[in-house]
Structure 1
Amino acid sequence: MSKELLGALDALENDKGISKETVIDALEAALTSAYKRNYNQAQNVEVAFDDKKGNIHVYAVKTVVEDVVDPRLECSLSDALQLNRGYELGDEIKFEVTPKNFGRIAAQTAKQVIMQRVREAERTIVYNKYSKYQDELITGEIERQDDRFVYVDLGKVEAVMPKNDQMPNETYRPQDRIKVYVNRVEDATKGPQIFVSRTAPGLLKRLFEEEVPEIYDGTVEVVSIAREAGDRAKVAVRSNNDDIDPVGTTVGPRGQRVQTIVNELGGENMDIVQWTEDPAEFIANSLNPSEVVDVIFDEENERACTVIVPDYQLSLAIGKRGQNARLAAKLTGYKIDIKSESEADGLTEDVQEDSDDAIDNE
């Protein structure tokens, strides 16, 4: 057993990167528990593994005392001095108590410890590898699907895509290649759990980094993203170079760059808008393709505003089922109330009448 165990420890260190010392420490702890369990011994016991010869020794550790009360834990000073004249009260002495048949138990324990350490090491390797991919884009292959998840093969590990991270306009077929966004990596007991998404705004940002060199190198910056995955998205961009138009650069010649991303996402429509430091201008840009006449900020709530649009563009500004307004609010971080010019004029007249009445009553 000694040669086999030494060979196994060398293989673990060379092949799995698990240090021999780490396994020996775990093995000695496990053998100590096994000895106490199998031999019904409650004394203070230590197990030592000889990493040169592969031998295992069990020692009972006893404290030197004047009068022995518990012989399992204590040794008299007189007995200790017979062993070595240098012993004093309070010293600890190790007595070898290795059972004759302890080799069988040691072999079983060693096998369990090694298997456990291998599993832990493999889990750590996978976790360390894929935790680096968090918030990144990665390509995998669809394995299967059930009521809860789509399972994606990332190579040596399987990722899961929950329902709310699946695109409503996509069908996931086994063996299809797919780009997914790594939402999070959890170090679970049974192994790392990798959660991926097709609906996260981060997916869209990484796709633009892949497709637009100026975004990848930081010349053009994606400031914010609002998505209703599979249907429509708004992306706010700004340029860190005055000579580069961020919107035109992102859209690309004849719209080719943005069209590549639209195709990747199964036809999800894209509005690319320019971010500016002026909140009113940014809010107006966010409601593209609608024109904006004015942006009036709420005096009581600095993150709320009323946007005035031409009468004939009210429906366009609000969008189908309110989608354009909803995405604009997400993109800008403002609560947006959209009104037509006629509605705004009516409100102004009502305010003026109330003001006149107040003057008349004075």
Structure 2
Amino acid sequence: MSSDLLDALTALEKQKGISRDVIVEAIEAALVTAYKRNFNQAQNVRVDLNLDKGTMKVYSRKDVVEEVEDERLQIALEDAQSINPAYELGDIVEEEVTPRDFGRIAAQTAKQVVTQRVREAERGLIYDEYVDREDDIVNGIVERMDARNLYVGLGKVEAVLPAGEQITTESYQPHDRIKVYITKVERTSRGPQVFVSRTHPGLLRRLFEMEVPEIYDGTVEIKSIAREAGDRSKISVHTNNEAVDPVGSCVGSRGARVQSISNELNGEKVDIVEWSEDPVVFVANALSPSKVLDVQVNEEDRSTTVVVPDYQLSLAIGKRGQNARLAAKLTGWKIDIKSETDARELGVYPSTSGFSIEEGQDKELFEDDVYAITENGNDEYNGDPYFDDEPEEDSETETIDLYSAEDEDN
């Protein structure tokens, strides 16, 4: 074995991050293959590489048996003991069978096999690196695109961003830098395949963890996320530390933190509400930015009836039912929204059970701890809620249909 080969092994270890033991194992396997192929040998053999001495030797391996059936694989006990009296049945006898010109032939034949094993080792390292980063956020560069998929370079590997995981309002160009969420890492014959997303709720969670120190260190916890990527999202937050305002922590000074996240998501609007174990409070908060007069809860089918002022009905429902739909996904409760007039006509408001502001509750309860970022970037916090829709002309409609978290994809 030449010193050049030893130098090459050292270079591979440093440049590729592959241990020398892995490389030596690959070379030994290649030399075994080369020996059997070029010398028409079917017996068991072992190749020994001595890196210190720079030598390589081939040894045949035969099992010690009483009666020999295949001379290429077995040796009689008597013959084995003639070599070494210590041999017993079941032992393995090794004999050097290194051909004279084995070095030249082995070098030519083993090159491709060694290259393949090194490539497999590299792929294994890449897989191990990225499989541990599933459900994590990474920076990537848009490299190319085809009819359906976008391919994002992550450094050592090219990730796939499927069409269904792309934000429809975004346009991507080669060399654009984007943040993506790793959803799945698979082993394939071509190496590790990494799948990423821009629409997954986990992307929003990780962005808040990166932007809000209180979430990163666990002081503030994200309880649930409802997202319609590229358009609008809602998140609920909670803390056990009475000295910390969970909503304010996520908003940041003058809305800087949440605005930064919205910008990263191409202007996606984000509503931040405080989580509560009381479904009455939680559902009312989740319907922000609309004001809520009454929430009645049916525990059996996890449904709620929500009463809002007449002029807030369109706001509570939202575009194509978006606000109510997101609130249902966020809370896990079905939500039936009624205007105040309709609720009075039906006799369900004021309620005889449940919660009603008119029955002496704090009118500020549902105006606190709610934050929404508007489409044009202006924010409203603890003030008059925003909405970018004009009230629907037909705002006297009875109610909207139930919106259930179970009906939506997570």
How high is the TM-score relative to the length of structure 1? 0.84
The 10-residue stretch of structure 1 (25-34 or 288-297) with the greater mean CA deviation from structure 2: 25-34
Partner Cα separation in structure 2 for residue 56 and residue 162 of structure 1: 49
The 10-residue stretch of structure 1 (60-69 or 158-167) with the greater mean CA deviation from structure 2: 60-69
RMSD: 2.8
Partner Cα separation in structure 2 for residue 48 and residue 177 of structure 1: 49
SS at match of 1:71: coil
Native 8 Å contact 1:62 1:92 kept in 2: yes
2:112 aligned residue:
112
1:79 to 1:272, Cα distance in 2 relative to 1, 3 A: closer
The 10-residue stretch of structure 1 (52-61 or 324-333) with the greater mean CA deviation from structure 2: 52-61
Structure 1, unaligned stretches of length 5 or more? 350-362
SS at match of 1:28: helix
Native 8 Å contact 2:23 2:118 kept in 1: no
The 10-residue stretch of structure 1 (84-93 or 49-58) with the greater mean CA deviation from structure 2: 84-93
1:344 aligned residue:
343
Native 8 Å contact 1:27 1:109 kept in 2: no
2:140 aligned residue:
140
The 10-residue stretch of structure 1 (228-237 or 84-93) with the greater mean CA deviation from structure 2: 84-93
The 10-residue stretch of structure 1 (28-37 or 304-313) with the greater mean CA deviation from structure 2: 28-37
Matches within 5 A, 1:67-82: 68-77=68-77, 79-82=79-82
Matches within 5 A, 1:269-308: 269-301=269-301, 303-308=302-307
1:182 aligned residue:
182
2:315 aligned residue:
316
The CA deviation at 1:89 is 5.4
Partner Cα separation in structure 2 for residue 76 and residue 254 of structure 1: 88
Native 8 Å contact 2:160 2:196 kept in 1: yes
The 10-residue stretch of structure 1 (282-291 or 40-49) with the greater mean CA deviation from structure 2: 40-49
The code of the aligned residue for 1:271 comes to D
The 10-residue stretch of structure 1 (59-68 or 137-146) with the greater mean CA deviation from structure 2: 59-68
- With a CA cutoff of 8 Å and minimum separation of 6, indicate the structure with the bigger relative contact order: 2
Native 8 Å contact 1:223 1:238 kept in 2: yes
Query: 1:334 and 2:333 equivalent?
Result: yes
Partner Cα separation in structure 2 for residue 294 and residue 129 of structure 1: 51
Native 8 Å contact 1:221 1:240 kept in 2: no
Matches within 5 A, 1:1-362: 2-65=2-65, 68-77=68-77, 79-87=79-87, 91-301=91-301, 303-348=302-347
The code of the aligned residue for 1:254 comes to R
Number of aligned pairs?
348
Partner Cα separation in structure 2 for residue 69 and residue 130 of structure 1: 50
1:358 aligned residue:
none
1:23 to 1:298, Cα distance in 2 relative to 1, 3 A: same
SS at match of 1:41: coil
The code of the aligned residue for 1:13 comes to E
SS at match of 1:173: coil
Native 8 Å contact 2:30 2:114 kept in 1: no
Native 8 Å contact 1:140 1:153 kept in 2: yes
Native 8 Å contact 2:158 2:194 kept in 1: yes
The 10-residue stretch of structure 1 (277-286 or 171-180) with the greater mean CA deviation from structure 2: 171-180
1:271 to 1:15, Cα distance in 2 relative to 1, 3 A: closer
The code of the aligned residue for 1:151 comes to Y
Structure 2, unaligned stretches of length 5 or more? 349-410
What percentage of residue pairs aligned between the two structures are identical?
A: 62
Partner Cα separation in structure 2 for residue 210 and residue 91 of structure 1: 61
More helix by share: 1
Partner Cα separation in structure 1 for residue 307 and residue 89 of structure 2: 92
Partner Cα separation in structure 2 for residue 182 and residue 79 of structure 1: 62
1:354 aligned residue:
none
